[in-house]
Structure 1
């Protein structure tokens, strides 16, 4: 049975409900932890391509993470079995992604890699260390302007080096306390967003908008929304961090019934970004043109 299409602009972190470069965590239920949608087959195919092309570029794991990886796989398969029977079937020793021809066997590769081949989310394991939580294992096929090879093994402060308002500011302290106090029965979610010049999922290299933005060229841009979740693994005590990419083509904006509100909300957040924040998002040159075009809409 095909899945009903998810509407564009499903998640709108730019609507004023959260502020960019803040923690902005909200509790979620187990049933919404993972988000399979009509792009499941395409996203998994892109993961397969990246795994085959250069596995170490998108998957890394320290040797003592095997048990934590299995915990993640157990959580993922249990969630798929309970809440996503239209897209996944879990059996003894394997899982099937329904309608795609994919049957993933367990035990033939690192468990985190197996889990990543079942879902659209990227999966990251964070472990407590002397300098705070650090990245010890990850399958990250769809990074937003960063490379896994440069982040593996690093602490939260190291991972976020160069991110405006994180290190030396309240945000880094809040994230540190969150990681320390997160209970095993808590699931929390936050969002990031930016505007990208294309809909490529794999974006390890920062790429700003280099062309002049008009109403015609605005339709070539994509809102890239990252939905991130956090939960503590019940046995190891490590934290699993998921990242799910949603692409909203701005070409579809004119078709939305509430397009005026979407354009207004997006413009307001763009205009509120500082120069450092705009530079980090790759929009320092194009912000005013985008804002003016959205205002005309």
Structure 2
């Protein structure tokens, strides 16, 4: 999401509160590693994660659905019951664990902070469910070629297109991910999908570095920092929090993706900047050429590593 969005009057309260949720998740701190599965168990109460950006993120979803619905929502015929199941589970979870942000009145949900009022009878059900939460919702259905993307409300993609991936298998979806197919990672993911039990909740993180903080980011990006100054002020850490849960009725898997954006320049004032900058630099330096190209950092890694080094080799100024 661009900074221009935060200047709208209805977004100012969210802008003021962003300081409290920066660096909410820092998978680059050594707790996980890129291009690995890295699934960890979570509790039912941790499945969904509404935060101070709830209202503007939902507003952005509504805008995208209104302006480019085919780009952000797709569903195969025959997924209607599974979509309804997802909606029911999300409503149940919000009602139980997130009553401060979601108020239920008859067949409607009122989002706190002047958010939308969502009619739960609206169709398609997966799109209605996605209008309640910041997470994107992807329905994965088993088939002869493994699990495939059978339905999705995907408003905030990270360098991939729903139109291109719709109805494709896991292996086809990840064909451009270095090391996924033909190696251990793809086999492990397939096994995890097959063995995920009803009632299990698992989570993983992915991070990338982007030249902006637009939420809707379907196109691959390339960052070139050669001969650039003020490296940190130009870039954003984009963290994906991904969860998996098997639907008890259909047996499908609901895959959620929530986006977090942190300006890299905010590291300068972070109390743990030395650890975070050092670990991020370490992860950057172990990426191989294919991984760097995939993350759009082939022409940025060295300059970025140098800028990060300055945060833990000298006194960094306060923003």
How high is the TM-score relative to the length of structure 2? Answer: 0.90
Q: Deviations over 1:47-86 (max 9, x none)?
A: 1111011101000001100100011101111111111111
**Residue aligned with 2:35, SS:** coil
> Is residue 2:257 matched to residue 1:262?
no
Q: 1:288 aligns with which of 302, 306, 315?
A: 302
1:218 aligns with 2:208: no
The aligned counterpart of 2:58 is 44
Structure 2: tracts of 5 or more residues without a match:
1-12, 312-319
Give the C-alpha shift of residue 284 in structure 1: 0.6
Give the corresponding residue for 2:194.
Answer: 180
**1:83 alignment partner in structure 2:** 97
1:114 matched residue in structure 2: 128
Distance 2:115 2:157 in 1: 26
Structure 2 residue matching 1:113: 3-state secondary structure: helix
Trace 1:10-89 onto structure 2 (pairs within 5 A).
10-89=24-103
What is the DSSP-based 3-state SS (H/G/I as helix, E as strand, rest coil) of the residue aligned with 2:139? strand
CA drift of 1:7 comes to 2.7
Partner SS for 2:28: coil
Match of 2:178 in 1: 164
Please name the residue that 1:140 is paired with: 154
Checking the alignment, whether the CA contact within 8 Å between 2:225 and 2:304 is kept in structure 1 is no
Deviations, residues 179-228 of structure 1 (Å, cap 9, x unaligned): 10000110000010010000000000011113437562311210000000
Moved more, 159-168 or 99-108: 99-108
Q: 1:152 aligns with which of 147, 152, 166?
A: 166
CA contact (8 A) 1:213 1:286 kept: no
Structure-2 change in CA distance of 1:220 and 1:102 (3 Å):
same
Task: Give the aligned CA root-mean-square deviation in angstroms.
Answer: 1.4
DSSP 3-state at the match of 1:210: coil
Q: What's 1:127 paired with?
A: 141
Q: What is the distance in 1 between the residues matched to 2:123 and 2:265?
A: 41
User: What stretches of structure 1 of length at least 5 have no aligned partner?
Assistant: none
Deviations 1:132-191 (A, max 9, x none): 000100000000000000011000001101100100010000000001000011000001
Deviation at 1:101, TM superposition (A): 4.0
Q: Confirm or deny: 8 A CA contact 1:213 1:293 kept in the other structure.
A: no
Instruction: Indicate conservation of the 8 Å contact 2:281/2:309, yes or no.
Output: yes
Q: TM-score, normalized by length of structure 1?
A: 0.97
TM-fit CA distance, 1:108:
2.4
Residue among 103, 106, 112 paired with 1:92: 106
- Name the CA distance, whole Å, in 1 between partners of 2:276 and 2:223: 20
Kept in 1: contact 2:136–2:155 (CA 8 A): yes
* Alpha-carbon distance between aligned partners in 2 of 1:118 and 1:133, rounded to the nearest angstrom: 26
The aligned residue for residue 260 of structure 2 is 246
Provide the secondary structure at the position in 2 that maps to 1:225.
Answer: strand
Partners in 1 of 2:101 and 2:140 — Cα distance? 28
Q: Which residue does the alignment assign to 1:102?
A: 116
